[in-house]
Amino acid sequence: DGGITQSPKYLFRKEGQNVTLSCEQNLNHDAMYWYRQDPGQGLRLIYYSQIVNDFQKGDIAEGYSVSREKKESFPLTVTSAQKNPTAFYLCASSTYVRGLQETQYFGPGTRLLVL
Amino acid sequence: EDKVVQSPLSLVVHEGDTVTLNCSYEVTNFRSLLWYKQEKKAPTFLFMLTSSGIEKKSGRLSSILDKKELFSILNITATQTGDSAVYLCAVVNGTASKLTFGTGTRLQVTL
């Protein structure tokens, strides 16, 4: 089955701890994205990557880090510098046609809770 | 800064009603506008609109874009309880190749 997978489904973080959220896609998409969703605020872009070994900050990158060592994988680390990490995290991917981004498709999400 | 505003924020209708959801936007270098449906988890893609005045239709759902007035509407006819969800609108900035989302419209369809 082609698609985007995220793990874990739920994640608990202790104060001062770094945690990593996994995102994998087998759609052969070039671009991958991380969003954060809080109640009443829609989706906000954290980081995105248009090609392997390259990524750009989104609108709310502070306290987060990413890597893109493989086309299929785009893990997100929530660092201890992120003071309010409790949220629903969504990963997405898309392809490019004639240099322009096509529709983004989403994974099932990871809900992060702080203990 | 790109901006998307959706209205209403929430809506409760009876099964069988027709609803219209609104999305207005400001974006530099407009590429496309996307509609998604989000139930409990991941948003699922509904429509991508790039040209004004051309209606996209899928079953009871349809959508149209007005690039002059910078808005789009999503219509759902003969609503069913399975249409209950948050409907998200997003615009693609062709220069930055990224999406900006609105806060969504929460639709509840009751029996």
pLDDT tens, B8-63? Answer: 999 999 999 999 999 999 998 898 999 999 998 889 999 999 988 889 999 999 99
How many CB pairs below 8 A link A and B? 53
CB contact under 8 A, A33 and B98: yes
Looking at the predicted structure, is the pLDDT value of residue B91 above 80? yes
Q: Residue B36 has what pLDDT? A: 95
**Nearest CB neighbour to A45, from listed B31, B41, B98:** B98
Q: Residue B97 has what pLDDT? A: 72
Q: Residue B26 has what pLDDT? A: 94
CB within 8 A of A7, min separation 6: which ones? A21, A22, A110
Distance from CA of A108 to the nearest CA of B (A): 5
**Nearest CB neighbour to A50, from listed B41, B97, B103:** B97
pLDDT band at A97 (very low <50, low <70, confident <90, very high): low
CA pair distance A99, A96, nearest whole angstrom? 6
On whether the CB atoms of residues B35 and B89 are closer than 8 A, the answer is yes
CB contact under 8 A, A100 and B97: yes
Q: pLDDT tens digits for A26-83?
A: 999 999 999 999 987 789 999 999 899 999 999 899 999 999 999 999 999 999 888 8
**Nearest CB neighbour to B42, from listed A58, A96, A107:** A107
**Beta A43-51 vs A54-57: how paired, if at all?**
antiparallel
Q: pLDDT tens digits for A9-26?
A: 999 988 888 999 999 999
Per-residue HEC secondary structure of chain B comes to CCEEEEECCEEEEECCCCEEEEEEEECCCEEEEEEEEECCCCCEEEEEECCCCCCEEECCEEEEEECCCCEEEEEECCCCHHHCEEEEEEEEECCCCEEEECCCEEEEEEC
Q: Calculate ∠ Cα A56-A61-A67, nearest 5°.
A: 50
Q: Residue A99 has what pLDDT? A: 64
B-chain residue closest to A96, CA distance: B97
Sign of the torsion formed by the C-alpha atoms of A39, A40, A43 and A44: negative
CA pair distance B98, B29, nearest whole angstrom? 11
Of chain A residues 32-91, which have a CB less than 8 A from chain B?
Answer: 33, 35, 40-45, 48, 50, 58, 90
**Percent residues over pLDDT 90 in chain B:** 78
CB contact under 8 A, A103 and B97: no
